[in-house]
Structure formats: C-alpha cells, structure tokens
Amino acid sequence: MPVLTSNLDPRGSAYQENRQAMLERLTELESALRQARGGGGEKYVARHHARGKLLPRERIELLVDRDSPFLELCPVAAWGTDYPVGASVVTGIGVVEGIPCVIVANDPTVRGGAVNPFSLKKTQRAGQIARENRLPLINLVESGGADLPQQAEIFIPGGAAFRDLTRLSAAAIPTVAVVFGNATAGGAYVPGMSDYTIFVRDRAKVFLAGPPLVKMATGETVDDETLGGAAMHATRSGLADFVAEDERDALRLARGCIRNFRNFGPGRTYGPEPKFGADDLLGIPSADLRVPFDPREILARILDGSEFDEFKPAYGAALCTGWGAIHGHRVGVLANVRGVLFSAEAQKAAQFIQLANSSGTPLVFLQNTTGYMVGSEYEQGGIIKHGALMINAVANSRVPHLTINIGASYGAGNYGMCGRAFEPRFLFTWPNAKSAVMGPQQLAGVLSIVARQAAEAKGQVYDEEQDRTMRFMVEHKVEQESAALFLSGRLYDDGVIDPRDTRTVLGMCLALVGTGETAQFGVFRH
Ligand code: COA
C-alpha cells in the first residue's frame, strides 16, 4: 500500500504558533477535567473516605483489569452550565476479565450522587454505546436518585433509563448492578432491571421509599436494614444475587459475573506504528480555522505504517477518501482538505460510503468543513441535490462510523461529515475544533443584513450604532457557543481529546464496533 510522506516543518514559525495555541486549549481542557475528577470537592470527598468508602474512579480502577486502558466518555458533561462539571456520574469503557464493558459509576460526593438532566443524558449515552456495540453494562450504584429541585426536568424523561436497561437484557447484552450505598425510589430499579446484582453488606440501601417517607405514608416505623439492606434483599426479597462483605469484595464478585460472558471478548489485532510521531499533531491545525491544512499530514500520524490507499484522488479533491488501517483494523477515511464541499466531493463521498458498505469496512470521518458551497453557479449545478445525496449515504450507511472533529464543522457539512445527529458510534473533538450553524462573523452579518432590509421596508433609518453593538454581541456569543468545551459540556460529543491520543482512541473504538452489516444493493457510480 502507498506510504504517506510529510511536508511538515516542525521548526517553522507557523507550526510553533499552532502548537502553542493547541497547548493553551489543552490547559483549559485539563482544568475542566480536574474539576470533574474533584467530584463534590474536598469536604465531601474527605467525608466519603472517612466513611470507609471508595470514590467512583477508585471503584472503576479496582474493577478493570490491571494496567488496561479506560476510555472515559463525556468527562466534562455539564461544563459551562449551573451543574457540576462531570454531572455527578463517571462513564466509560473498561476491560474487565479481558472483555470491554461500559461502566457507569455514580459519584456520591456530588449532591449525594443525585441525577440531574446532564447526568441523565450522560448515562443514556453510555447505555446507547452498550447497545450499539453489544458491550456488557456494569452500574456502580450509589445515588440519592433524582436531583429533587430539578425533578421537572428529569422525572418523565428519566424513565427511559430503566426502559433501556431492560432492553439491553432483552437483546442478550448482560447488565450487572453493584450497589454500594443508597439506591432509593427510581434508583432501586437499576438493580431491579439488571441481570446480576451484588449488594454490599450493611451499606446497600435499596427501597422504594426510605424510613421517613414510609412513616409518613403508612405510619410504620422501620430501620434502613429491615427496609432495604443487603441481608434482607439476599434472604427475603431475592433482589440481591450476591452479598459482598465490603466494596472490594463487591468488585471482585462483579469481575466473577463478567467472567461468564466469554463470547463478548473482542478479537485482538495489531498494526505497525505510523512512520511519523504523534507529537506533530499539536502543530498541524492553526488556531485560525480559516488556515487550511492537509489531512494527509494527520493520517500519516494515525494510520498503521502511514499507509494510505487514496480513492479517486483527482476527483473532488477538497475531500480526501481512501483506505488504511488503525491498530490492525481496516478503515475507510473521509477527510476534508479545503473546508468547502462541492458537488464532486459530495458525489465522491456517496460512492465511497457505498464501497465501504459493500465490504463491511468501518468509516472514519475527519471533519474540517465550512459546509457546502453556496452561490448561483453551485445552486444551478445542483449542490442541494448532491449534498442530500451525501447526507443520504451517511444516514443510511450500515457500517460503524467514527467521527473526529479536527477543526471546523459548520453548516450542513456537519451533517454530511457524520455529525452527532447522524449517530456515529463514537464522536470525539480536538480542543481547537469549533462547530455551529455558521461562523460568528457570517451569522452576525446575516442578522445585520436581515435587520437592515426590514428597516428599509418600513421606511426607517437603520441605526448603525445599534447594528455594531448587535454584531459584536452576537459574534461573541456564537464564538463561545462554538467552542469544543462548550459543546462537550452539552454532550454533543463523547469527549474532547488530546490530538496525540487520536490513534489510541480510534484503535480502542474500532476494537469495539465490529464491522456492521453489508449493503443491500450495488454501488452507484456518481
Ligand atoms: N436531590 C438533591 N439534592 C440531594 C439529593 C437529592 N435527591 N440527595 C442528596 N442531596 C444533597 C443534600 O441536600 C446535601 O446537600 P448539602 O451538602 O448542600 O446540604 C448533599 O446532597 C449531600 O447529602 P447528604 O445527605 O449530606 O449525604 P449523605 O451521603 O449523608 O446521604 C443520601 C446521601 C442520598 C442517602 C441522602 O442525601 C438522601 O437520603 N437523599 C434523598 C434520597 C431520596 O429520597 N431520593 C428520592 C429520589 S426519587
């Protein structure tokens, strides 16, 4: 297979400036991640430890195989909102007994582990990943249930969490609940809906209503253990399959449950390292997204042996398509070369996606697009029709898609290049990347033109001073809302990653996704 070469000059000033800007974004990311890892803050963490309990990340570490990687998902959920960064729950994919599993761990140090709207979205996304990739789901439960002041936002949609849990079970995807503490009301249905349950002695408290509510409702006076302790559920109600002596014992028992799911193990594959170092990835994209860069420079640093068999290189050259492999998994790649997509690029993409479907090859989308070309020449040439063709191919493709936003993702280009709404199995973002309906200046400019025309139609004098203020404010707002951290906070991706980790992250995901189904009909030549 042809091997990519590189024209990068790591000593040049452009590279150095780009690298500096990327490192600044990475510092911001690290600060957000620190907030998430800090849970509810020192006071609540110390209190939790003083009770002899482990933090969610400590529980995960003891659950997964020693020295195995843990791919944390949506770690900065709720960033930039009124809710704590991380959304009181840790989710990710870890290897347990050699089997990749989705792990969901409540963080009891954050408002008692109570579930807010972002916790709900994050947990649901983890469940979706378990379903689509057929991965066992392990819930590490300790939660005060619904965040009560926010109940209006979560009570009704929250039912989906229980629906999805039992649907996993119906699809023969194993589910395990390990209960470390409180699981009241809705929380009680997590073990209730799981295939296997493990309760920690003298710690697990699983009931529809705690003692105070029972007293109010029925007048009965009862203690926690009698109402919902591990021993009671193991001997009387039958809700607990196993009683653990302590937290470590519970995690050992959970590993024992997973050991029975032998047929869930992935096939291991290996591939040669790229010929160029991953460190260079920091300096390839400019902080100014208008400065184009060649995605082949990226591919040379993430594909096995830097080998890339480009498809139709001379046609629709603003989109690079071709075949390669990552950690031994064969992939098709679609990567924007110069931001804009024209008709030829859209048609080439559709043909390439069909080819991948005919061979059951997963697709990797490297997004760096400002959208489809506008203007009368292109409208007359059928740009809507051709964009729709590409979007149709992406939407109906049956092979797994993985998307990385490495720069711009604007307008319908976000859709054609498999944005979040097109349900790629995983979507990660580089810290420099931005996404919005259009760029801030363009959006403010469009609003200004519309307002000016409205004023003219009414025969009014347009207020230029007010226009300048409006443009400034809109540009500032859209700029903020386009940033990677803002979008990740709203769960529009599965996490912001260090560009240097791209090959590792893609390799881990490819080990999980399988090949999907092959196409039902032949490839259309466009
Ligand atoms: N919604 C909103 N806030 C909650 C909450 C909930 N469901 N559960 C706990 N919190 C808050 C507490 O008010 C407290 O806030 P503060 O520190 O600012 O005062 C903080 O989380 C920690 O709670 P605390 O009770 O001190 O922690 P704990 O570890 O001793 O006990 C629980 C944790 C979950 C056992 C206990 O808080 C509790 O019983 N909560 C209510 C559970 C419930 O009935 N839920 C109904 C769900 S439908």
Segment 424-463, tens digit of pLDDT = 999 999 999 999 998 888 899 999 999 999 999 999 999 9
For the beta carbon of residue 344, count every other beta carbon within 10 angstroms. Answer: 17
| pLDDT, position 268 | 65
For residue 52, report the distance from its CA to the centre of ligand 1, in Å.
18
Q: What is the pLDDT of residue 514?
A: 83
Is 8 within 8 Å of 282 (Cβ atoms)?
no
Name the residue with the closest Cα to ligand 1, atom 21.
111
pLDDT mean across residues, the chain: 94
Alpha carbon nearest to ligand 1 atom 12, residue: 111
Q: Kindly report, residue by residue over 115-131, the tens digit of the pLDDT.
A: 999 999 999 999 999 99
Q: Could you give the C-alpha distances from 93 to 204, 309, 377, in angstroms and in order?
A: 25, 31, 48
Report in angstroms the alpha-carbon separations of 245 from 65, 201, 204.
21, 6, 11
C-alpha 299/C-alpha 296 separation (Å) is 5
Task: Count the neighbouring beta carbons within 10 Å of the beta carbon of residue 231.
Answer: 15
**Who lines ligand 1 at CB under 6 A?**
108, 111-112, 114, 144-148, 182, 184-186, 210
- Reading the block at residue 395, the tokens are 């939407």
Share of the chain above pLDDT 90, in %: 90
Distance 111 CA to ligand 1 centre (A): 6
Q: How many CB atoms lie within 10 A of CB 487?
A: 23
46: exposed, middle or buried (Cβ count in 10 Å: 0-12, 13-18, 19+): exposed
Per-residue confidence (pLDDT) for residue 439, from 0 to 100? 85
Tens digit of pLDDT for each residue in 290-349? 899 999 999 999 999 999 999 999 999 999 999 999 999 999 999 999 889 999 999 999
Q: Is the pLDDT of residue 239 over 70?
A: yes
> What tens digit of pLDDT does each residue of 70-87 get?
999 999 999 999 999 999
Strand partners, 509: none
Task: Find out whether 170 and 298 touch, Cβ atoms under 8 Å.
Answer: no
Question: Of all protein residues, whose CA lies closest to atom 38 belonging to ligand 1?
Answer: 144
| Rg, Å, the chain Cα set | 25
H-type alpha helices, 318-412: 343-359, 376-380, 383-396
Q: pLDDT tens for residues 97-115?
A: 999 999 999 999 999 999 9
Q: Which of 55, 141, 148 to mutate to test the pocket of ligand 1 (most atoms within 8 A of CB)?
A: 148
Residues 140-190: tens digit of each pLDDT: 999 998 998 999 999 999 999 999 999 999 998 999 999 999 999 888 999
Q: Which residues contact 117 (CB under 8 A, 6 or more apart)?
A: 83, 150, 153, 154
Sign for the CA dihedral angle at 449, 385, 422, 170 comes to: positive
Secondary structure of 126-179 in HEC code, one letter for each residue = HHHHHHHHCCCEEEEEEECCECHHHHHHHHHHHHHHHHHHHHHHHCCCCEEEEE
Check residue 116 and give its pLDDT: 96
10 Å Cβ neighbour count for 13? 8
